[in-house]
Amino acid sequence: MAAGANLVVVFPDGRQVEAKPGTLAGELLAAWSPERAGHALAALWNGKPVDLTFRVAEKGSLAPLTFEDRAGWEVLQHSAAHLLAKAVVETIPDALPTQGPPTDDGFFYDFDVRPLTPGDLDAIDAAMKRSVAAREPFSRRELDRSEAERLFARNPYKLRYIADVPPGEPVSVYDTGTFTDLCRGPHVPNVHWLRGVHVLGFSAITPDRPEAHPLQRIRGVGFPTRPELDEYLKIRAEAVARDHRTIGQRQELFVFADHAPGFPFWLPNGMVIVRELEKFVQEHLRKAGYSEIRTPLLFARSVFETSGHWDHYRENMFVSVIEGKEYGWKPMNCPGAMLIFGSRARSYRELPLRLAEFAPLHRYEASGTLHGLMRVRELVQDDAHIFLTEEQIEPEIRVLLEWVKEACATFRLTWSAELSTRPATFLGEAADWDRAEAVLGDVLRSAGVEFRASAGEGAFYAPKIDIHLKDSLGRPWQTGTIQLDYQMPRRFHLEYQGADGRLHTPIVVHRTILGTWERFVGVLTEHVAGRWPPWLAPIQVRVLPVTDAHSAAARGVVDELRAEGIRVDLAPSDESLPKRVRAAELDRIPYVVVLGDREVADGSVSVRIRGSKVARMMSRPEFLAHVADRVRRRDFDP
């Protein structure tokens, strides 16, 4: 292109404008849609987050990035980390900032500094507020290596990052007021965007190199406004009370042990919930025409080379050497399903072939990222692979979206979809990806499902629809995923004989709807705050004899309920009745049944339904039918 000639910029609605090279991304967005530009804290240039002050130099696509977008949320968190570092250095001048990335739920910044005190945090908080009031901008500068080294001469951590910048690339720094930090960016335009920043706490962290100093990590979270922060802090307090790790321990659902970090031990109560969820899913699978398979947990490295995992997912895999050969622990069920499809000749009459597998999967997650059931190293998904033809894609994905809707309604979870497209490194041809992305977008639109687009977040083998659930506190969780894959069947040389007598390659839908049992149970535990609906409750009914004299009758009731498949236990009369009623409340038992003289005499039971202060008299058959009916309907009322 000749110098000075205009270039073409494409916006999300398809509109195109001509712009002079060097025009600011923010100016282009404002000219396109003042309304949407007003919400933008950064921009996406060809799918990559950039500052609003980024100057476009070639043709490309431009979109606003807002706090509602995950990437925008991360930009704000990371910008808040800069603000924090500035405040720390202002408060404790010899503190050395090291790194400050966004995390799953906020941000942190690590400092080489003396041990902090709560008083330091107050001073740091005050310094942050002063910066916010001053509306200091973030401004980017590009330095050559020696300038950057001079600027950070006092900070060995930053010097190490500078050494990592590839030769020939400029080193970028950002100024915020008087504070300068080494960073690739992007950031929010100015610290006025960080009115809702809050420091959550600090802790000492042990360095990974023995000769290094211990660091102090300060954690925080950021919102564009103060009311949004206040709402978050309110929910956070409630979330602490609902933490699945605390409830899981109290209700004896699962435990973790130091000798198997990230590998859950499911206890009897937790297994009840997992099995009930499995039953729920299995019923759907039968109705929707799935068959179930079980394939090995380990495969020779060559299988993962074929599937592409070895090149694209190796850092998340556990590998074992057996008789001198490398084997990978499967991180996903795909290879086994592909091998079964390819194990004999297939006909178009078998398609769609829906193969479900609930096998343990192993994924390497760094120990620092493990978090209760939410992030683990061993997991089981409600997974299936559907082999189908081009024409079968749309109806099949429609059925899947219906199932998402039905499952979420059962659990009283709301959901939204996100369409994730081709990542930076991907298998196969860009044209196939374009087609698959277009198909998924079309199905979502024709099914009337609202969705966000997330550029570059697809799996390495396929674009995907990610399912995001919202729990009773309005917190989002990514669980299920529907992926449309043209690549893996080709790499495994899968074929079926078509109606035309010729051989064709099937397309594969990889899909999991609830996601992993681990994460889903974690989410549900917090969603219901441990008040399991009767169909999921490990103990559905607890029977309390008033005195020892009523014990035999109580055991009779227990046997009767157990014979009907109801999960029931008995609290013997060695403690006072009010104490036992209180304990049942703390254990969140859905039904507490009391048996005294009157009940024994007339064959009734006195029933306390969880959450209600008054007891109800019911005949035994009436009570049994009531519980059985709620369980059968999978009634989700608490």
Alpha carbons 467 and 418: distance in angstroms, whole number = 7
Question: Considering only 161-169, 301-309, 332-340, 461-469, which stretch makes contact with Zn ion by CB under 5 A?
Answer: 332-340
464 is catalytic: yes
Letter string b/e over residues 162-199, b meaning 16 or more CB atoms within 10 A of that residue's CB: beeeeeeeebebbbbbebbbbbebbbbbbbebbbbbbb
Q: Which of 245, 309, 346, 385 does the annotation list as catalytic?
A: 385
C-alpha to C-alpha distance for 279 and 365, rounded to whole angstroms: 29
Q: Which stretch binds Zn ion (CB under 5 A): 202-210, 236-244, 324-332, 541-549?
A: 324-332
Q: Is 541 in the site for Zn ion (CB under 5 A)?
A: no
Q: How far is the CB of 551 from Zn ion (least distance, A)?
A: 54
Closest CB to Zn ion among residues 272, 317: 317
- Rule CB under 5 A: choose which of 219, 377, 510, 527 binds Zn ion: 510
Nearer to Zn ion, 59 or 490 (CB): 490
Asked if 82 is an active-site residue, the reply is no
Residue 188, interface with Zn ion (CB under 5 A)? no
Q: Does 334 bind Zn ion (CB under 5 A)?
A: yes
In angstroms, the CA 16 to CA 171 distance is 33
Q: Which two tokens stand for residue 23?
A: 């025009």
Establish whether 385 is a catalytic residue: yes
Indicate the residue among 101 and 621 with the shorter CB distance to Zn ion.
Answer: 101
Nearest of 378, 406, 136, 372 to residue 247 by alpha carbon = 372
- Of 72, 97, 277, nearest in space to 182 by CA: 97
CB 312 within 8 A of CB 356: no
Per-residue DSSP letter, 257? -
498, 348 contact by CB (below 8 A):
yes
Q: Is 183 in the site for Zn ion (CB under 5 A)?
A: yes
Minimum Å gap between C-beta 220 and Zn ion is 14
Distance of CA 554 to the CA centre of its chain: 45
Nearest alpha-carbon partner for 517 in 381, 356, 359: 381
Q: CB of 183: closest distance to Zn ion in angstroms?
A: 3
User: Is 284 marked active-site?
Assistant: no
Cβ-based nearer residue to Zn ion, 277 or 384: 384
Choose one: 86-94, 157-165, 410-418, 506-514; the region binding Zn ion (CB under 5 A): 506-514
Contacting range for Zn ion; rule: CB under 5 A; set: 64-72, 142-150, 175-183, 275-283: 175-183
Which of 49, 534 has the CB closer to Zn ion? 49
How far is residue 589's CA from residue 568's CA, in Å, rounded to a whole number? 10
Catalytic residue among 187, 242, 377, 510: 510
Strands 414-420 and 325-329: unpaired
Residue with Cβ nearer Zn ion (334 or 400)? 334
Closest separation in Å from C-beta 488 to Zn ion: 8
Residue 503 CB, nearest distance to Zn ion (Å)? Answer: 23
363 is catalytic: yes
Cβ proximity to Zn ion: between 85 and 537 the closer is: 85
CB 82, min distance to Zn ion, A: 5
**Degrees, nearest 5: CA angle 129-135-141:** 115
Active site residue 383: yes
Whether residue 82 contacts residue 183, with contact meaning beta carbons closer than 8 Å, is answered with: yes
Would you say 219 or 510 has its CB closer to Zn ion? 510
Smallest separation, CB 484 to Zn ion (Å): 11
CB of 51 to Zn ion, least distance (A): 10
Closest of 162, 128, 123 to residue 145, by C-alpha: 162
Q: Give me the catalytic one of 51, 383, 471, 587.
A: 383
| Residue 38: CA count within 13 A, CB half-sphere | 3
- The interface with Zn ion within residues 23-42 (CB under 5 A) comprises none
CB 264 to Zn ion: min, Å = 22
Can you tell me the distance from the alpha carbon of 459 to that of 425, in angstroms, rounded to the nearest whole number? 9
Burial of 251 (C-beta count, 10 Å sphere; 0-12/13-18/19+) = buried
- The one segment of 328-336, 437-445, 552-560, 580-588 that binds Zn ion by CB under 5 A: 328-336
CB 152 within 8 A of CB 182: yes
The total of other beta-carbon atoms located within 10 Å of residue 157's CB is 19
- Cα–Cα distance between 175 and 152 in angstroms, integer? 13
Do 217 and 110 form a contact (C-beta atoms < 8 A)?
Answer: yes
User: Phi-psi region for residue 252, left (φ > 0), alpha (ψ -120 to 50) or beta?
Assistant: left
The reply to whether 386 sits near Zn ion by the rule CB under 5 A is: no
Q: Which is nearer to Zn ion, 23 or 176 (CB)?
A: 176
# residues contacting Zn ion (CB under 5 A): 4
Contacts to Zn ion by CB under 5 A: 183, 332, 334, 510
Any idea which residues carry the catalytic annotation? 334, 363, 381, 383, 385, 464, 510
